[in-house]
Amino acid sequence: MNDYAAAVLAGLADKNPHEPEFLQAAKEFLESLSPVLDKHPEYRDAALLERLTEPERAISFSVPWVDSDGKVRVNKGYRVQFNGAIGPFKGGLRFHPSVNLSIIKFLGFEQIFKNSLTGLPIGGGKGGSDFDPKGKSDRDVMAFCQAFMRELYRHIGQDTDVPAGDIGVGGREIGYLFGYYKKIKNEHACILTGRGLSYGGSLVRTEATGYGLVYILEEYLKTVGEDLQGKRLTVSGSGNVALYAHEKAAQLGAKVVAMSDSNGYIYDEKGIDLPTVKRLKEAERKRISEYVKFHKTAKYVEGCGGIWDVKCDYALPCATQNEINLDQAKILVKNGVRAVAEGANMPCTPEATEYFLKNGAGVLPAKAANAGGVATSALEMAQSGQRIFWNFEEVDKKLKEIMIDIFKNIDAAAREYGMPGNFVAGANIAGFKKVADAMTAFGIV
């Protein structure tokens, strides 16, 4: 690793010893950047990396709320405004019991470079809470969202910081959050994306992350003379990203043979029936285990990690961070996997990624591969700003163009720095350049 990158990483480890996810994301980034830093000693003089790895602002707050039994509850709330050099802070909100500052910082840090890769003017941020919407009534979710917004509203704004969804935050939560913001601020501004179509949302935002993932995979496959027709895919998760990755992949002729939730996975040689999974997970908020009641040829296996035992051509991890470790990577490679497209953020451990790359499986890293969601969020902001509404085909076309451009840029950056085919490095380098240029233009602020 370049000396400067190594020193910055050591400093981060010293200052943030209890943030393993953030340190993991920072290490991968700093390692990739080494060849760029060798060429640009001026970044060290400007302490650019020290500035880039420290959030501009990290807000932590309490969220007291009253549940429908009248019990007072308190959750933790976060918003990390990591870097706003190229535009207003932008990034999702995650509601999951595992949420802590380390997870929000890793997500916010990666978001900086992902957002830069989209080519659109958005900075990086992330937020969330350790609140668990799973199994809660709509009324309880509403009460929590209102309490969360009671604090968040003072930190966001259409030109300041524009949150969206992530794990545990979908259309229902965005509706409650937006409705409450509007009530207390008397302002119908684009302060959140992923909004419903009746109140300012954009067509394709629901589908965008999953569709974008498949668009970039398709573009990569062209370079190795393959396509999705007739291929076997494993898609982990069964939330927003997983469902729409499945949908687009199936439209392009692939067969998704396995999907999962945090309890276990379903497997069917004939292919998983998407409408059933959508109904169970999107509409009824049930467990994926119920799927086998409706499809007799399908099997349910307890434990979500086993999904990577299923033989596939391409693996699409779309659930959560570190869901593919080295052992699982070895099984995937042994079973002939040829590409891994990361729908989730940081789903592969560093050892897994290294193993894939060494064994000739293409890795499309999250920063690039799942950028379609936030890109379409930026298209939602653009439409709101102009008070116009593009049709499905227009947004989908723009999304596809953005994903193709991202692939071209990460491919070119990897080649330029002597690492052809290493899209992990390519994405970090290509995402970094624009942010570094903007920060340099501003001077020390």
The residues assigned a catalytic role are 126
Contact 368, 216 (CB under 8 A): yes
Q: What is the DSSP letter of 169?
A: B
Segment interacting with ligand NDP, rule: CB under 6 A, options 13-21, 271-279, 338-346, 430-438: 338-346
- Residue 168 binding: pick among ligand 2IT, ligand NDP, none (C-beta 5-8 Å cut-off by kind): ligand NDP
Return the number of other C-beta atoms located less than 10 Å from residue 50's C-beta.
Answer: 14
Segment interacting with ligand 2IT, rule: CB under 6 A, options 90-98, 176-184, 218-226, 303-311: 90-98
Return the residue of 49, 56, 85, 90 that touches ligand 2IT, per CB under 6 A. Answer: 90
Q: Is 319 in the site for ligand NDP (CB under 6 A)?
A: yes
Contact 109, 124 (CB under 8 A): yes
How far apart are CB 324 and ligand NDP at their closest, in Å?
Answer: 11
How far apart are CB 213 and ligand NDP at their closest, in Å?
Answer: 9
Secondary structure (3-state) at 430? helix
Q: Which residues pair with 94 in a beta bridge?
A: 128
Return the number of other C-beta atoms located less than 10 Å from residue 131's C-beta.
Answer: 27
Secondary structure (3-state) at 423? helix
Segment interacting with ligand NDP, rule: CB under 6 A, options 147-155, 181-189, 272-280, 315-323: 315-323
Nearer residue to ligand 2IT within complex by CB, 91 or 175: 91
Nearer residue to ligand 2IT within complex by CB, 146 or 345: 345
Name the residue number minimizing CB distance to ligand 2IT: 92
Return the residue of 103, 167, 272, 429 that touches ligand NDP, per CB under 6 A. Answer: 167
Q: Is 79 in the site for ligand 2IT (CB under 6 A)?
A: no
Q: Is 127 in the site for ligand NDP (CB under 6 A)?
A: no
Q: Is 49 in the site for ligand NDP (CB under 6 A)?
A: no
Q: Which residues pair with 123 in a beta bridge?
A: 89
Backbone angles phi, psi at 101, to 5 degrees: -65, -35
Q: Is 422 in the site for ligand 2IT (CB under 6 A)?
A: no
HEC assignment per residue over 109-170: HHHHHHHHHCCCCCEEEEEEECCCCCCCCHHHHHHHHHHHHHHHCCCCECCCEEEECECCEC
How far apart are CB 28 and ligand NDP at their closest, in Å?
Answer: 16
Return the residue of 127, 373, 426, 431 that touches ligand 2IT, per CB under 6 A. Answer: 373
- Give the pairing of strands 264-267 and 255-260: antiparallel
CA distances from 191 to 83, 156, 159 (A): 18, 7, 8
Secondary structure (3-state) at 335? coil
Q: What angle do CA 352, 327, 340 make, to 5 degrees?
A: 40
- Residue 318 binding: pick among ligand NDP, ligand 2IT, none (C-beta 5-8 Å cut-off by kind): ligand NDP
Nearer residue to ligand NDP within complex by CB, 107 or 414: 107
For 90-128, letters b (16+ CB in 10 Å) and e give bbbbbbbeebbbbbbbbbbbbbbbbbbbbbbbbbbbbbb
Residue 303, sorted as left (phi over 0), alpha (psi -120 to 50) or beta, turns out to be: left
Backbone angles phi, psi at 33, to 5 degrees: -80, -10
Q: Which two tokens stand for residue 96?
A: 């999951």
- Residue 338 binding: pick among ligand NDP, ligand 2IT, none (C-beta 5-8 Å cut-off by kind): none
Q: Is 374 in the site for ligand 2IT (CB under 6 A)?
A: yes
- Residue 238 binding: pick among ligand 2IT, ligand NDP, none (C-beta 5-8 Å cut-off by kind): ligand NDP
Q: What is the DSSP letter of 288?
A: G
CA 330 to chain centre: 24
Q: Is 262 in the site for ligand NDP (CB under 6 A)?
A: yes
Nearer residue to ligand 2IT within complex by CB, 91 or 317: 91
Give the binding site for ligand NDP (CB under 6 A): 134, 165-168, 170, 209, 237-242, 261-263, 304, 318-320, 343-345, 370, 373
Give the binding site for ligand 2IT (CB under 6 A): 90-92, 111, 114, 164, 166, 193, 345, 370, 373-374, 377
